[in-house]
Chain A
Amino acid sequence: MEAKTKIDHVLENISKVIIGKREVAELSVAALLAGGHILLEDVPGVGKTMLVRALAKSTGANFRRIQFTPDLLPSDVVGVSIYNPKEMAFEFRPGPIMGNIVLADEINRTSPKTQSALLEGMEESSVTVDGETLSIPKPFFVMATQNPIEHEGTYPLPEAQLDRFIMKLKMGYPTPSEEIQVLNSLEHSVPIEELDTVITLEELITIQKEVRTVHVSEVLKSYIVELATRTRHDPYVYLGASPRASIALMRAAQAYALMKGRDYATPDDVQYLAPFVFAHRIILKPEARYEGMATQTILKDIIKRTPVPVERNVVT
């Protein structure tokens, strides 16, 4: 499997700068291959930026970064047309969104207006400035980070916008030994600067196309739909997974299967990815929160109770 080898190279490359965190790296790559975007929710300083930069560097992608602040304007994101007196015409200055891999840092620090400018770009892969629509170059991958909502001075993202991220991940702190390794690796050098490009953008696009050829059998589709349906009917859930969530899960499973060197997705892929894909799209009822139920617990429970299709003719 050629694609797998290439992806393995990328992951290996990333692991040079991100010690541990194999899972987050894998999922990020999966999201990239699936053509989705990632929401990283974590405290500052755990390596979010490094992860994205490593990813960008490994693929030779054009890396951009937007630091969201409360006073950031939509034009600071998408770009602005400026009058050029020489040419007697408006000239478009592309904003930081016009990159291949974009780190949108602390997205919930900015106003909803600016947030939606970014999210619209993510969804449409294009931006509209002064009535002119400009498409964003491919591949286009946004990794947005947000502080945990409890932090002060944040504008929580509305549900509709959360739905646009294929997955929400958490970095988490490294283990003490990992942290020591991090210190060691940084003692004398800056590894990120020594990172090589292991695949080209064209190869990345090819792999992205290949993801869509990964087979998802009928029974597996019904399993995905069943999982989504169950989140909608769970007594603790106020808002369940949308059909967009089902699509996202299928796409993620395809990408993940390809990374594992398979040309078909399995229930294992789906089970593994479902919490990352569904969790941020589900809103619990207040009573569930009072009872200390977490979204992850409920999802795990649903996965545990939903029968995995193991025969061909089970059509529910």
Chain B
Amino acid sequence: MRQRTLLIEGLTFLAALLLLMEWLGPIAELTNIGYIRVFYIFVAISFLLLFIKTPWWLSGLVKIGYIYWFIVSIYTEYPIVSLDGVRYFISELVYNVRQLMTLDLTQMTDPFRTILFFILLWMTVYLIGYWIRMRATLFVFFVLTVVIIGILDTFTAYDGSTAIVRVFIIGLGVSALLFVFKLHDNQKQFRYRGLIFTALLLLFSVSFAIFLPKAGPIWPDPVPYFYSSNPESGVGSGGSGAINKVGYDEDDTQLGGSFVSDDTEVFQVRATSRNYYRVETKDTYTSKGWIQSEPQIVYDYFQQGQEFSLGFPESAAPEAEQLEFTMQSEFPFLFHTYGTESVESAEPFGLRFNESTNRLDAVDEDGTLEPTEYTVNFAEPSYLLSELRSTQIEDLATLEPELNRYLQLPDTLPQRVRDLAVDITADQESVYDQAKAIEQYFRTNGFVYSQNNVAVPEGDTDYVDQFLFDTKIGYCDNFSTSMVVLLRSVGIPARWVKGFAPGEVIETDNGEQVFQVTNNNAHSWVEAYLPGIGWMNFEPTIGFTNTPDIEFDIELAPDDALAAEQQEIEEQEQQEQEVQQQETDTASNFSLKPVWDWFAQMKWWFVAAGIVVALIAALLYKFRLKWLPKLLLRKYRQKEMTTERFEQMYRRLLQMLALYGLPKEPGYTLTRYANQIDNYFGGDHMRKLTSEYERSLYGKGSTENPEHLRESWEYLINRLSS
């Protein structure tokens, strides 16, 4: 018996030790604590001392000795057993206590901080010991551990995905252990059966959970979400208030709505210059979003290393550059950039280029692959300003028919959009200048970049029309889609491009930079077709720049709009990093968007439902005297009366009476209480019941069937609820 108790207690202490280590691990990781093992050992020793019930003075001495040993041997050169060591230790204490007294906390020395940390651990172990010994429960500690790991995992760099599993196994195990132990304090057999059952259950549930397939996270990273849920953001003023998460998504049929940012890394890329990473283009605008028309799909297949062209002008650069991609998320396509010439990878796959969507897939015989590392060789296309300036507006009328799909516009497009396009481009003499004028239009006419308060077009509202004339607030999708529509309105073929903005530099190495691209960098922009030149990319979104390589081979007048713009672009480029950090860009959508949309839309319903449920619960609780007795009446009416059931009913009655406002004084005997109750209600029902209950409780066990007392019980219960 004694040994078993010891075993259980030992196991509990061990579990507490393991749980506490789960705290220490991340703390050490996040705060750069060195010598973490020393702290582990300290905690282990503390638990051991507690377990073997060392007298307080001895365990205190051991712990202080340990702390002293650590401080002196780590922070000084003194031998452990030396006067100098002791003197050092004491002077540290004296000095720092003085700092503490004057609240001069910044002046505290490192050794003293270490001592404080030791003391914190000491106290924690003591508290846990109290939980185990006095309360015989570790549940609070277990819950706290889960919470702290959840918080650390969410808000810091610490990855608690395995820790949480360990904590659950240990915590549930030890809770069950203690519970079973308490439950059957006098029934050894039961206890053992309970333990075996607990262990089996735990084993089963944990292994079952491990083998189950795991869904990805449904919610966005909560930190940015919390930021975005401050009162200024959130529900859009003009739309239904859908909140999306930023990221790359193939579905662009329904644009609009606010975004929360998500800094999950998508890939890293090593490069010598900033580049936009192109994924695909879309050609058909539906007045709500984008779809791809499906003319005959034409695939071009290439080998790795084989040179190909994406249909942009040639580069003037002397040699090709490289982009070395390292993917974090897996996509069935390859990111590429302007002027891509070839792709290489250690992984075996071929390339498939979809001419209609401009998508570059990695394929083998079985279909598409998701490559993890590859290098893109590219030479940025070059344009001559003189040639651009000489693009003739008249030539637009005689373009090849295959460009027609890039001129598509929905019939429902309001006329004022077309009129606006004509207005903007009225004074321009070349196609390039027209396109440039439309690109610049957004920078000066009161447009605001924002991911919040972005409307969703409802009913017949056109997405572009709403943005251009009503809201003027939006992110890249609004700007790029609008520009494409405006270009098409004046007959310039244009397509909508999706991909990622350059991202942030996280490492600079020998002229090369490593960019980290996250979901926040998902982006969309515009490509326009200039007669006689070919495709060229434009960036209408405020705060973003992506200028093609234009050689200024003609002189610019000082007041030339282009010159001013060039200067502006340079300034913008300097600010760009900041902008990118502050305002995360939003590309279309992200995976699991419908679920999140639904949650976001239903948010207030959830809140309302929660309040209603809480209110009902509160009311039910407040008026429980009205319904609980009736419930009890029902519950017991059907049941056969036995002594045990009678005792149960009697205790219920006591509870109900207390609820009614007639609680039994702790020092009152039941007989005295029964007199009090009968005086209150009249009759002698309570006395009858009490006399039987007392006989049953204090006596040798009654043989009489208490069925005849049912009436008295029901009478009293009824009196309570009436």
Contact = CB atoms under 8 A, between A and B. Distances in A.
Interface string A279-315: 0000000000000000000000001111110111000
B699 A308 contact: no
A265 B671 CA distance: 13
Given A217-B699, A264-B695, A266-B694, A311 B669 contact: no
A263 B669 contact: no
Contacts of B667: 303-308
Interface size classification for chain A: 20 to 34
A200 to B, nearest CB: 28
Interface in B678-719: 694-695, 697-700
B698 A267 contact: yes
A19 to B, nearest CB: 28
B646 to A, nearest CB: 12
Given A310-B654, A312-B647, A219 B697 contact: yes
Instruction: Indicate the member of B651, B667, B672, B695 with the most A CB atoms within 10 Å.
Output: B667
B164 interface: no
Contact of A264 (B647, B651, B664, B699): B699
A306 B666 contact: yes
B688 to A, nearest CB: 15
A215 B668 contact: no
Given A217-B697, A266-B698, A305 B669 contact: no
B670 interface: yes
Contact of B669 (A215, A217, A262, A267): A267
A225 interface: no
A268 B651 contact: no
A311 B698 CA distance: 10
Contact of B700 (A215, A266, A307): A215
Pick from B670, B671, B698, B700 the residue with the most CB of A within 10 Å: B698
Interface in A185-230: 215-217, 219-220
Contacts of A215: 698-700
A304 B672 CA distance: 12
B698 A308 contact: no
Given A305-B667, A311-B651, A263 B697 contact: no
A268 B674 CA distance: 12
Contacts of B670: 267, 308, 310
A271 to B, nearest CB: 6
Contacts of B664: 310
A247 B620 CA distance: 49
Contact of A310 (B695, B697, B699, B700): B697
Contact of B666 (A216, A219, A268, A308): A308
Interface in A204-262: 215-217, 219-220, 262
A219 B697 CA distance: 8
A307 B666 contact: yes
Contact of B671 (A266, A304, A307, A311): A266
A94 to B, nearest CB: 42
A262 B702 CA distance: 12
Contacts of B700: 215, 263-264
Given A215-B699, A265-B698, A271 B666 contact: no
B669 A219 contact: no
B450 to A, nearest CB: 65
Nearest to B700: A215
A219 B694 CA distance: 11
Nearest to B664: A310
A268 B699 contact: no
A185 to B, nearest CB: 34
Interface of B: 647, 651, 654, 664-672, 694-695, 697-700
Given A215-B700, A267-B669, A268-B669, 15 more contacts: A219-B697, A220-B698, A263-B700, A264-B699, A266-B671, A266-B694, A267-B670, A267-B698, A308-B666, A308-B668, A308-B670, A310-B654, A310-B670, A311-B651, A311-B697
Interface pairs A-B: 10 shortest CB-CB: A264-B699, A307-B666, A304-B667, A267-B669, A217-B698, A268-B669, A215-B700, A268-B671, A264-B698, A308-B669
18 contacts: A215-B699, A215-B700, A217-B697, A263-B699, A264-B699, A264-B700, A266-B669, A266-B671, A266-B694, A266-B698, A271-B669, A307-B667, A308-B668, A310-B651, A310-B664, A310-B670, A311-B651, A312-B697
Interface of A: 215-217, 219-220, 262-268, 271, 303-308, 310-312
